Structure 1
């Protein structure tokens, strides 16, 4: 791209294009991506200079194999020879059926039905709608959901309503969104013993809250073990079992939002695999297509599917135009093949070790409150809000693209990131924090 074309692109972007969570009055000045390959983004900086940088974000956690992956490219090209899209109402096709079969083979025990949705947020909408319809079909008007504070479930209205209403990304919409039931955020740390005093106190408080609201609660919904956009917060797996037991005791369903955590991001295939019990409904997305196309899935038990279908509507009342898009399903199938072929649990364990070693020196910085890792997730939490633009620029100068938020400088790198690139990435994050925050 020549200098004039680059300048024109950036000017039009600033004047007319809204980016995520951005202001039209004070638009940002984003870097221009010209191409991507492997784990690298080929950018143009604000002066037009070419930069070749490691992607520490997996494009918001979905490009787990990196970019221009031959097997995934081939899956898209091959599918184009048949069809790019066809409606799913009254029709079916091999890529969708094959994907549903694969997902059920990989799913926690008891999940037997698959609804293919457009995006992660939409899969949460579908999951919540299914829970409501399940109870309505049985003559129970349960219209509320119970979750824990600190969570994030998406940007559409139903997911926003179960995202933390005070400190969450959607507090602006309080009073407009339905008001659900929020238990306290559990104590931090994956490995707390079951008799830990803080965990026991949390369990007692949550039990009392559940009992008070049990008649209205259709389902519990949580991000298992790791709350993503709510703060990269890790909590004990015991919490999942407590919530499951309470739901069973009071006739509610359990929804696991595994959009960010599924497909080994935290280590196991599903973050909820660390718990004793499987959910009634599971949402998967992000890494499902390896970052190629938007696609998500809602999986549920036969009991839920049949219960919904016995209701007055006669079925689940949702039907996206691009449901089960053949291109997306084809590349998702190829992505699942690649995850199996590459021994993903071993890859993630290697990434975890590299993140733990590479980020450890950040603990010595005065501005740093905590450093934590879980699977292919590494977090530097600061004692103050991140100066996003400055940290981003400092990391780019060290050859790494990172997108901090709140008080977090974090990474979810592609699983294929080499040890050398991982060392560069972690040094860039630590160095950027040291330069900007001290």
Structure 2
């Protein structure tokens, strides 16, 4: 990759959440191995982001690579309409093994946002099949569920990512965000806002949708498991389906295989993605109960009206199956425990820093919430210069490293963050 390539990229390639007039710098990565990304100048940097939550076993994992190579010799893709194949069947067997027995009908999608769209469409078709027209969803503020339109509509409308589209999106119900944080004392008043909304709109709500325990792009907040337990109780009471969005949190990131396990609940519809393939390629799934699936199938359409071209892609299914096999060996539990211990050791003392509002650690997630908005361009240059890849947003600097990260590299990530906090040029006052 030479300067001509970078000039072409600058002029013609539109990167996520970036401008085509004044884009943020893009750093050229030519290869990746383990926890390291290699720049085109040969410098290796420690990845603190797992490529947005997904690369949990590190880059170029030999077992995941082999699963792809073995599959590509057979077929890379085949349509899923009217056709099935061993890779999809093996993956779905694995998903049945690791999720609650109640969840037994699996719809394979091709990205996290699509999994959310599918879950919401399932909810709409479910009520249509029952003879009711319910189009409203209930969720909580500070949530994020993806960048496609229906997914945006249940993400916090005040969130700066989606506020541009607020007048174009369907209007849904937003309860106050939970105030009781993970690990602290539960207050029954925390559920009042949600309780009132579900009670007053019980005949209009198609489903409740939530990120479990950890809210992602909406602010990286960690809320009390009791809140989710109460939500499950209220959904049961009013017979409203509960959609749990585990796309970011699933597959061990929080210290549980799925974050909803902290509340000891079972969703009616479960959305998974990101780490499903170990970050090797895009794949997601929406998993639901036989009751919902059969109700939809007995409805007016006699089927579920959705079918992505690349759903059930054999390559993606094969690597996802191997990824789950690795997780079933249970090494991830010790890995997450070690990461959490070091993040607490290194990040919690930063709570006293004058630029820090709050520090949060759960599993392999470490969050430094600053008092001021971050100058992303300047701070990322600093991070690269110091050999780490961290991508902050708004006022948040956060770490979600690969599970295989070693103690030295994790401490270095934290130390570079600590050093960055001392530089006034990295903040917008």
TM-score (norm 2): 0.97
Q: Are positions 1:357 and 2:345 aligned together?
A: yes
Partner residue, 1:9: 5
Query: Matched residues in 2 for 1:392 and 1:364: separation?
Result: 23
Partner residue, 1:193: 185
Query: Matched residues in 1 for 2:307 and 2:195: separation?
Result: 36
Are 1:108 and 1:273, in contact at CA under 8 Å, matched by a contact in 2? no
Query: Matched residues in 2 for 1:361 and 1:434: separation?
Result: 14
> Match of 1:279, SS?
coil
Partner residue, 1:64: 56
> Match of 2:423, SS?
helix
Partner residue, 2:360: 372
Q: Deviations over 1:331-385 (max 9, x none)?
A: 1011111122252111111111111112133223211111110100001110011
Structure 1 unmatched ranges of 5 or more: none
Match runs of 1:129-148 below 5 Å: 129-148=121-140
TM-superposed deviation, 1:399: 1.4
Q: Are positions 1:413 and 2:401 aligned together?
A: yes
Are 2:24 and 2:377, in contact at CA under 8 Å, matched by a contact in 1? no
Partner residue, 1:112: 104
Match runs of 1:232-247 below 5 Å: 232-247=220-235
Query: Matched residues in 1 for 2:160 and 2:116: separation?
Result: 17
Query: Matched residues in 2 for 1:269 and 1:423: separation?
Result: 24
Partner residue, 1:386: 374
TM-superposed deviation, 1:168: 4.7
TM-superposed deviation, 1:435: 2.6
TM-superposed deviation, 1:188: 4.2
Q: Are positions 1:122 and 2:110 aligned together?
A: no
Query: Matched residues in 2 for 1:91 and 1:350: separation?
Result: 44
Query: Matched residues in 2 for 1:201 and 1:160: separation?
Result: 28
Structure 2 unmatched ranges of 5 or more: none
Partner residue, 1:291: 279
Correspondent of 2:76 among 64, 75, 84:
84
Correspondent of 2:333 among 345, 353, 357:
345
Query: Matched residues in 2 for 1:78 and 1:432: separation?
Result: 44
Correspondent of 1:166 among 158, 162, 170:
158
Are 1:150 and 1:168, in contact at CA under 8 Å, matched by a contact in 2? no
Query: Matched residues in 1 for 2:191 and 2:386: separation?
Result: 45
Are 2:213 and 2:222, in contact at CA under 8 Å, matched by a contact in 1? yes
Are 1:391 and 1:433, in contact at CA under 8 Å, matched by a contact in 2? no
TM-score (norm 1): 0.95
Q: Are positions 1:403 and 2:364 aligned together?
A: no
Are 2:180 and 2:190, in contact at CA under 8 Å, matched by a contact in 1? no
Partner residue, 2:206: 218
Q: Which deviates more from structure 2 when the two are superposed, residues 121-130 or residues 108-117?
A: 108-117
Aligned length: 426
Are 1:394 and 1:435, in contact at CA under 8 Å, matched by a contact in 2? no
Are 1:258 and 1:283, in contact at CA under 8 Å, matched by a contact in 2? yes
Q: Deviations over 1:237-286 (max 9, x none)?
A: 11112111221222210000000000010011100001132100000000
Query: Matched residues in 1 for 2:204 and 2:356: separation?
Result: 42
Q: Are positions 1:29 and 2:25 aligned together?
A: yes
TM-superposed deviation, 1:175: 1.7
Are 1:254 and 1:280, in contact at CA under 8 Å, matched by a contact in 2? yes
Q: Which deviates more from structure 2 when the two are superposed, residues 428-437 or residues 107-116?
A: 428-437
Are 1:225 and 1:272, in contact at CA under 8 Å, matched by a contact in 2? yes
Q: Which deviates more from structure 2 when the two are superposed, residues 319-328 or residues 363-372?
A: 363-372
Are 1:85 and 1:327, in contact at CA under 8 Å, matched by a contact in 2? yes
Q: Which deviates more from structure 2 when the two are superposed, residues 26-35 or residues 359-368?
A: 359-368
Partner residue, 1:314: 302
Q: Deviations over 1:26-84 (max 9, x none)?
A: 1232110011001000014xxxx432100000001100011111001101100011000
Aligned-residue RMSD, C-alpha: 1.3
Are 1:361 and 1:430, in contact at CA under 8 Å, matched by a contact in 2? no
Are 1:220 and 1:254, in contact at CA under 8 Å, matched by a contact in 2? yes
Query: Matched residues in 1 for 2:208 and 2:331: separation?
Result: 32
Change in 2 beyond 3 A, CA 1:29/1:204: closer
Partner residue, 2:39: 43
> Match of 1:36, SS?
strand
Correspondent of 2:263 among 275, 281, 285:
275
Q: Which deviates more from structure 2 when the two are superposed, residues 319-328 or residues 184-193?
A: 184-193
